[in-house]
Structure 1
Amino acid sequence: MGSSLSTPGASNANDRPAVAATLPPAGCPMHRKLEDATANVSPPPSAETNIDPRNNIPSLSQNPAYGQTIALPLERMRSSIPRTLSDLSTASEHESASTCPMARGGPSRTTEETKDTWVYPSPQQFYNALVRKGWETPVQAIPVMVDIHNWMNEAVWQEVLRWERRYFNPKQSNLALEPEEIPEVSLARFQGRPQDLSPKARFHMLLGRIFPNVYSELPPFDRHDWMVRRDGWGAEEQDKLHRYVIDYYSGADDEDGNPVFHFDVRPAIDDLDSLTARLQEWARIKRETWLGEEQSSITKDAKINN
């Protein structure tokens, strides 16, 4: 990993932070599709399956999947990621969790907009989601996959906060604020878009064909769009949502043989402010690369090994 996690610049491995792990973060569509999904796939869901409007994913039960012979944990971990909750999207404890990257949870809310944190699906719900999509997944590997999946989402959220504090902070445009001085940001909803290449990913694939020794032409194996809300940043931000795009790439194995993944987090260019932030970040990265300026501690390498 490195300071270039969120840069709109080059797409080589040095320009995106890497997470080393023994297994892929398979909660999202990160496994190969089964050619013949039969015995390991549960029967088709009924028409009454509830769809979570926050991610367009059916709610999943804690029951074992059809044909499952190994029991999986039912415990769910609460993330550190604040969620935006309004009267249009309430949650209650009895509701089943959805899948990647996080699920709803916590007491119900019926009045004004309130913040809570997102809750990750249990290993059983995680597995049910993969089975539903037809992904080939060894049941015994699910707990480790869930741990890596959750860790990656936490790392992505830290990158979102880095962008917000550095470029969109109404109080001070740097990272040196005390925690109580940092305006609050919450995740309102998200969407997995593995089949939709982002413009940046397309551009990097083109560069990979032209400059194969510098860029990679391999596409990301997954993409997420996260919608965040800036709370307490002024009346003009009260009802606005801001989109972030996250591309996930596979990298070469590390020196210990662990697979490596890169994720590229940046604000979508949906407005002039986001475009300005992207250009400023590109310039910052190039200064560090060309002039050898010191990296921010937030963007230095972070790697986990199992």
Structure 2
Amino acid sequence: MVWLYKQEGPHEKNVNFDGRACTLFNKDNMMPNLPNVPLNTAGANLDTDTQVSSIPRADRNENWRYPSPMQFYNALVLKKKTNKQEAQYIKEAVRAHNAVNEKSWEKIKSWEDMHRECERPELRRFVGRYNDRTLKSYFVSLFSRCGKEIRYIIDYYDDPRITDDLQVHIDARPALDSFGNIIDRIRRLFYRH
């Protein structure tokens, strides 16, 4: 799961979960805006601190924030993708999540290096498509290059041959949905950074 947390933002309707209201949907990250309080007893002792990422936001002069372990666990609870016994591993899951996001950002920046006229690429929004069955499972991110939206596809694969502790192969590239992105894919074959 790839998820960056936005502290405040556009909301749709609220949903009540176990006596607590939380925003059902945030258009910036396609995730619920979750309270930073436990939704069940297993998450009661999880850390509530969020971390600032290195990824600049397109709509304001700040960086995106990663979810706290509490928020990360709450997201899994709401999606019914965890159980109470797994709460003890959430801190490490968040650490891995944040590291994968940072590595993904580095991959995106390596593509954006071909556009030096834009000094600071920014993340506008992102959409996880982890439940879709495609040739490659992907994560769609919309970045801003000098105010223009550029869509990237990011695939993640488990790869035990990778020597770091994450063992995740990250394949990030511009989506083939514009002439400029097609040209970038061709240019990349000859580009040296």
Task: Return the TM-score normalized by structure 2.
Answer: 0.79
Q: Residue 246 of structure 1 aligns to which amino acid in structure 2? A: I
Counterpart selection for 1:58 from 32, 45, 70: 32
Is structure 2 residue 45 aligned with structure 1 residue 130? no
Instruction: Give matches, 1:189-268, under 5 Å.
Output: 189-197=125-133, 202=135, 220=137, 223-231=138-146, 238=147, 240-252=148-160, 260-268=167-175
Which residue in 2 is equivalent to 1:169? 116
Partner of 1:156: 104
| Greater RCO structure (CA 8 Å; 6+ sep) | 1
* Residues 203-248 of structure 1, C-alpha deviations (whole Å, 9 max, x = no match): xxxxxxxxxxxxxxxx54xx211111123xxxxxx3x211011011
Residue 92 of structure 1 corresponds to none
* Residues 122 and 273 of structure 1, relative CA distance in 2, 3 Å threshold: same
Would you say the 8 A contact 1:115–1:186 is kept in 2?
no
Q: 1:275 aligns with which of 163, 175, 182?
A: 182
Shift of 1:45: 7.7
Change (3 A) 1:119 1:193: same
CA contact (8 A) 2:34 2:75 kept: yes
| RMSD (Å) for aligned C-alpha atoms | 2.7
- CA-CA distance at 1:124 after TM superposition: 0.2
CA 1:75–1:197 in structure 2 vs 1: closer, same or farther (change >3 Å)?
same
When residues 116 and 145 of structure 1 are mapped into structure 2, their CA distance, relative to the original with a 3 A threshold, is same
Q: Distance in 2 between matches of 1:69 and 1:242?
A: 37
1:103 aligns to what? Answer: none
Letter in 1 for 2:149: L
Paired residue total: 178
Name 1:49's counterpart in structure 2: 23
Question: 274-283 or 117-126, which moves further after superposition?
Answer: 274-283
Partner residue of 1:234? none
Deviations 1:82-140 (CA, angstroms, capped at 9, x unpaired) = 0012xxxxxxxxxxxxxxxxxxxxxxxxxxxx321001110000000011111125111
SS of the residue 2:23 aligns to: coil
**One-letter amino acid matched to 1:260:** Q
Percent identity reads: 31
**2:58 is matched with which residue?**
84
Partner of 1:16: none
| Cα distance in structure 2, aligned partners of 1:259 and 1:63 | 28
Question: 2:158·2:168 contact (CA, 8 Å) conserved in 1?
Answer: yes
Q: TM-score, normalised by structure 1?
A: 0.52
Contact 2:122 2:144 in 1 (8 A): yes
- AA paired with 1:115? N
Letter in 2 for 1:251: D
CA-CA distance at 1:194 after TM superposition:
1.2
Over residues 33-61 of structure 1, what are the superposed CA-to-partner deviations in whole Å (9 max), with x where a residue is unaligned? xxxxxxxxx65986x73421112222101
Does the alignment pair 1:146 with 2:54? no
Alignment equivalent of 2:122, drawn from 171, 186, 191: 186
Closer/same/farther in 2, CA of residues 44 and 249 from structure 1, 3 Å limit: farther
Q: Structure 1 61/70 Cα, relative in aligned 2: closer, same or farther at 3 Å? A: closer
Letter in 2 for 1:56: M
Greater fraction of residues in strand: 2
Contact kept? 2:96, 2:166, Cα under 8 Å: no
